[in-house]
Amino acid sequence: MDRQRRVGIIIIIVGICIPLITLPFLSGYGRDKGIFENLYRVGIELRKDPQGNAGKHSSSDIEKADGKTPAFSRLIPKRIPFRFFLVITLILSYIGIVRINASSREQDGQIEEHKYK
């Protein structure tokens, strides 16, 4: 097995391991929800929302916006969605498959060159 093929396989394995490593840290899963709703709602929680009003504006946020003082708490995300990790998995899998395919094309090209010499 040549070097490019090994690197491609390692990239695919790393891409598969990334979401598996994040599974213990996920929150927001519901048994009664569907597949797509779970993929959309599940994520790694970075900070808790004490009021439970994610995405809603309170009167204090509006007052801060009018007073030109930035609400830094609104800039920090509340959670990292799990679908971001799935996108990384797809990208790394694609890169790994392309590397494996390129290594097989190089081997085929070398074999054909030896036939004609």
Q: Where are the domains of the chain?
A: 3-47+80-116
Which two structure tokens, joined as six digits, stand for 10? 């390692």
DSSP alpha helix (H) spans, 1-117: 3-22, 35-41, 59-66, 72-75, 82-116
> Model confidence at 100, in pLDDT bands (50, 70, 90)?
very high
Residue 55 has pLDDT above 50, yes or no: no
Dist CA 35 CA 112 (whole Å): 48
pTM greater than 0.95: no
Measured distance between the N- and C-terminal CA atoms of the chain, rounded to whole angstroms: 24
Backbone φ and ψ of 90, nearest 5°: -65, -40
Dist CA 57 CA 55 (whole Å): 7
Q: Which residue has the higher pLDDT, 92 or 73?
A: 92
